Amino acid sequence: TKIKNFANKNIDLDIHVRTSMVRYWSYVKTAVIRIGNDILEVEGLPNFSLRYWINYEYMGGLTDIAGFPVSINANKDRYTIDLDKDYPGQKIEIKTFKEFVGVKIIGATEKSFGNAIGIMGDFQTGNTYARDGSTVLHDFTELGLEWQVLPSDGKLFHEIARPQFPELCYLPEDPRGERARRLAESDVTEEQAEAACAGLKDEFD
């Protein structure tokens, strides 16, 4: 997701995520938020430990990002970027659960996020567009490949990991999970993933 001239400050906001494949399903393992020249990267860990980089510095001093205050809750599983000074009541939250990472915009409005472009689709209609801004893509695999991070999108993660364009994103080989090889190592089982998601009304509660 990208927003140009965020908060009318002549700076951009970017949100990138990196997924990890486990058999025939995948999950977000790392998320990056860039506002202006500041970059916050958060990664999930199986032991619930805190793990982040601020401007590529591992576990560096974290008080704000581009002047927006950042806080971490007592459980060390929720990072909150407070947008209140420009957009009252709005915030960006990065939540972790073991290896799982999620990003949520709280209180988003047309004024703050109405011109966002990216894989999440159009703010008003919910349509998921290709990079040309006009072609509507209904197939999620096609949509994911369309919005794979390109060199022109910038290097936000602290380290390079495969696949990198022009190598395409990894895709499941078989919906039943009969894979010729493992594409990633993970301590998260399918059962744990289902348990983590079961019965949730809001994954950020």
Per-residue model confidence as pLDDT tens digits over 121-144:
999 999 999 999 999 999 888 999
First to last CA, the chain: 23
Give the number of other Cβ atoms within 10 Å of residue 157's Cβ.
19
| Residue 151, preceding peptide bond in cis (omega within 30° of 0) | no
Residues 6+ apart with CB under 8 A from 12: 2, 3, 4, 5, 6, 34, 35, 36
Structure tokens at 153: 């999108």
Give the lowest-confidence range in 36-40, 75-79, 198-202: 198-202
pLDDT value for 128:
94
pLDDT at 181 over 70: no
Residue among 22, 39, 2 nearest 159 (CA):
39
User: CA of 68: how far to CAs of 91, 103, 163, 176, in Å?
Assistant: 9, 16, 32, 44
What single letter denotes the amino acid at residue 79?
Answer: Y
Sign (positive/negative) of CA torsion 59, 91, 28, 196? positive
pLDDT at 71 over 60: yes
The residue among 178 and 26 whose pLDDT is bigger is 26
User: Would you place residue 185 in the very low, low, confident or very high pLDDT band (cuts 50, 70, 90)?
Assistant: low
User: Would you place residue 189 in the very low, low, confident or very high pLDDT band (cuts 50, 70, 90)?
Assistant: low
Residue carrying structure tokens 């619930």? 48
Considering the entire predicted model, what is its pTM? Answer: 0.82
CA distance 84 to 81: 9
